[in-house]
Amino acid sequence: MADVKKYGFVIDPRRCIDCRACLVACRAEWNTPEGQTRIWVHTDGPHGTFPNVAQTWVPAQCHHCETPWCVEACPTGATFKREDGLVLIDSEACIGCGLCVNACPYQVRFRNKETGKADKCSGCYTRVDRGEMPACVATCVGGARLFGDFNDPASTVSQAIKGQTVYRPISENVNTGPMTYYLAPPDAAQVQVTPQPREDLSAEVFWRRWAIPFVKLAVGVTFVGQAGAFILQLLRGENEYEDGAV
Ligand code: SF4
């Protein structure tokens, strides 16, 4: 078993019965405000032709991507990726700008209406660090949500996808390395979880990469200039400065 963990989810929509106990468990664990949620159960269907009609429910949450666009977009470093793969938010460092919310191609981030800060699934890292499963996984009565270490071949998630046809929610244009594997016919899962790149992402990346560093540089140069002038004034002496100024 590798020392470094690689956490992620395996979702089997065929086992989801839409009881939504996972949503309740998530809100109870994280005190998410009324009307906001960190996880979802998407409804797909009914599809098919009578009498062969079926309905699928597709659990979803942050995919804790391998190359997360939200981390790229965050101007303060508040959003970061742990060594074990979980993408987290340091709420102390978050300024509530919402750039990460717009950057996520899965639209699983939101601005918490009580804190004004970015919010999303944290993989229940506090539970995981205690050796427990995320609340949604521990509560799922059908076993539709699984979580674990993909670097461990004996883990539940590694065993669940072994020899299976899996669907990773990526598209031709978007591949952030989502660490969620769906065990379902692609058509059913694709409907609800295909990533959608945001149109304004380029403007946000421009802001983060160029505008913010430029403003920081300008402020820094101004500060250094002011400090230099102040030190010069001290070295010359107050009187000499005043004489010279008259
Ligand atoms: Fe970030 Fe969205 Fe990927 Fe989660 S799904 S890690 S919020 S880009």
Q: What is the pLDDT of residue 233?
A: 84
Contact yes or no for 26/140 (Cβ under 8 A): no
Cβ atoms within 10 Å, residue 44? 19
> Given ligand 1 and candidates 11, 38, 104, which is best to mutate, with the most ligand atoms within 8 Å of its CB?
104
Asked, for residue 32, whether it belongs to a domain, the answer is yes
Please indicate, yes or no, whether residues 32 and 15 belong to a single structural domain of this protein: yes
Atom of ligand 1 nearest to the CA of 87: 6
pLDDT in tens, 25-80: 999 999 999 999 999 999 888 888 999 998 889 999 999 999 999 999 999 999 99
How big is the CA angle at 60 (ends 37 and 80), to the nearest 5 degrees? 75
Residue 36: which CATH number? 3.30.70.20
Does residue 99 lie within any of the structural domains? Answer: yes
Which of 120, 122, 168, 205 to mutate to test ligand 1, by most ligand atoms within 8 A of the CB atom? 120
> Measured from the CA of 109, which atom of ligand 1 is nearest?
7
Residues 129 and 224 in one domain: no
Residue nearest to atom 4 of ligand 1 (CA): 62
* 208 and 91 in a common domain: no
Same domain, 179 and 241: no
Q: What span, in angstroms and rounded, lies between the C-alpha atoms of 148 and 158?
A: 8
At residue 246, the pLDDT reads: 46
User: Residues 189, 206: one domain?
Assistant: no
- What distance in angstroms lies between residue 69's CA and the mean position of ligand 1's atoms? 7
Nearest to 13 by CA among 37, 39, 41, 32: 41
Residue nearest to atom 6 of ligand 1 (CA): 64
Residue 1 domain flag = no
Query: Is residue 126 in a domain?
Result: yes
- How far from 174 is each of 6, 13, 50, 92, 171, CA to CA, in Å? 21, 22, 35, 30, 5
pTM (two decimals)? 0.81
Last-in-domain residue among 177, 193, 209: 193
Q: Are residues 107 and 154 in the same domain?
A: yes
Give the pocket of ligand 1 (CB within 6 Å): 62-65, 68-70, 87, 104, 106, 108-109, 120, 176
* Distance from the alpha carbon of residue 129 to the mean position of ligand 1, in angstroms: 20
Residue 205 inside a domain? The answer is: yes
189 and 74 in a common domain: yes
- Cβ(128)–Cβ(86) under 8 Å? yes
Ligand 1 atom, smallest distance to 178 CA = 3
- pLDDT tens digits along 95-107: 999 999 999 999 9
**Measured in angstroms, how far is the CA atom of residue 66 from the centroid of ligand 1?**
9
Distance from Cα 111 to the centre of ligand 1, integer Å? 14
Q: Alpha carbon of 144 to those of 42, 126, 157: distances in Å?
A: 13, 22, 11
Please report whether residue 2 resides in a domain: no
Judge if 151 and 177 occupy the same domain: yes
Same domain assignment for residues 128 and 231: no
Whether residue 117 contacts residue 111, with contact meaning beta carbons closer than 8 Å, is answered with: yes
Residues of the chain with pLDDT under 50: 246
Q: Which domain holds residue 233?
A: 201-245
210 in the same domain as 96:
no
Same domain, yes or no: 101 and 214: no
Q: How many domains does the chain have?
A: 2
Q: How far apart are CA 23 and CA 57, in angstroms?
A: 13
Q: Report the separation in Å between the CA atom of 242 and the middle of ligand 1, taken as the mean of its atom positions.
A: 59
**Is residue 144 domain-shared with residue 182, that is, in the same domain?**
yes
